[in-house]
Structure 1
Amino acid sequence: MCKEFDVINQNPKRSDEPIWWGLFGAGGTWFAMITPVTILVLGILAPLGVIDAESLSYERVSEFATSFIGALFVIGTLALPMWHAMHRLHHGMHDLKLHVGVAGKVACYFFAGLISALAIIFVFMI
């Protein structure tokens, strides 16, 4: 047998990192592409009067937020950037030599999961 193949681990340990990296990537993408548009529409165009105030009335916004697409939008806006931020915080602490181990990982991802759960509860309570 060739020596090259002796270093290949035949029984690699399964990692949970692909799950966290997937949520990190989704949150980063959402934050980079959707959040600026949301800020533009709600924070700049609406106050300047470019968008009619009636189109952002409570009734219309409530109707949108309770629709399937609106609920996904609200949950995505609250949850996905939080997963991104907590993953970045977890790895940032490691980069700063603050090795908090499994407890830090659990704390970061628990907090992101809590915010996600609260976002889902919030949408269903509207």
Structure 2
Amino acid sequence: MKPNFSVNTAPKRSDEPIWWSLFGAGGTWFAMVTPVTILVLGVLIPLGVIDSEALDYQRVKGFSSSLIGGLFIIATLALPMWHAMHRIHHGMHDLKIHAGLTGKIACYAFAGLVSVLAVIFIIML
């Protein structure tokens, strides 16, 4: 007897790969870059291990005005937000709070808003 396997030749397109890629990028950034940033800015400089003159206004403004610095700041603000909003969206479903499409739009719109504001912040410098 031959098994009856049918292949769907016209599967429904999903937008999940977009959200999962932003979720993964945000989680990776948050796990690898954010702790180092917190260590340097929140511990080593206040303790005097790194000279605070290294982060005077002109140097920080110069860094944030450069392409690499601007992208770093945008990624530091935006990517973890995409990770968090994706986690909240799926966490609500796990907690049996079915917000549906409205919840999805709210979560991702908020992450998008933070991303746009980060870009505007860098452009305005």
What's the TM-score, normalizing by structure 1? 0.96
Two-structure CA RMSD over aligned residues (Å):
0.8
Amino acid at match of 2:116: A
CA distance in 2, matches of 1:65, 1:44: 21
Counterpart of 1:23 in structure 2 is 22
SS of 1:15's equivalent in the other structure is: coil
User: How far apart in 2 are the matches of 1:74 and 1:121?
Assistant: 11
Structure 2 residue 5 is the aligned partner of structure 1 residue 5: yes
Cα deviation 1:5-36 (Å, max 9, x = unaligned): 32x21211000000000000000000000000
5 Å-filtered alignment, 1:46-125, equals: 46-125=45-124
> 4+ residue stretches of structure 1 with deviation over 6 A?
none
Aligned residues: 124
Query: How far 1:4 moved relative to its partner?
Result: 3.7
Q: CA deviation at 1:80?
A: 0.1
1:89-108 alpha-carbon deviations (Å, 9 max, x no partner): 00000000000000000000
Q: Unaligned stretches of 5+ in structure 2? A: none
Match in the other structure for 2:40: 41
Q: Return the alpha-carbon distance in structure 2 between the equivalents of residues 78 and 53 of structure 1.
A: 23
Q: Secondary structure at the match of 2:63?
A: helix
TM (norm. structure 2) is 0.97
What whole-Å deviation, never above 9, does each CA across 1:61-84 have from its counterpart, x for those lacking one?
110011000000000000000000
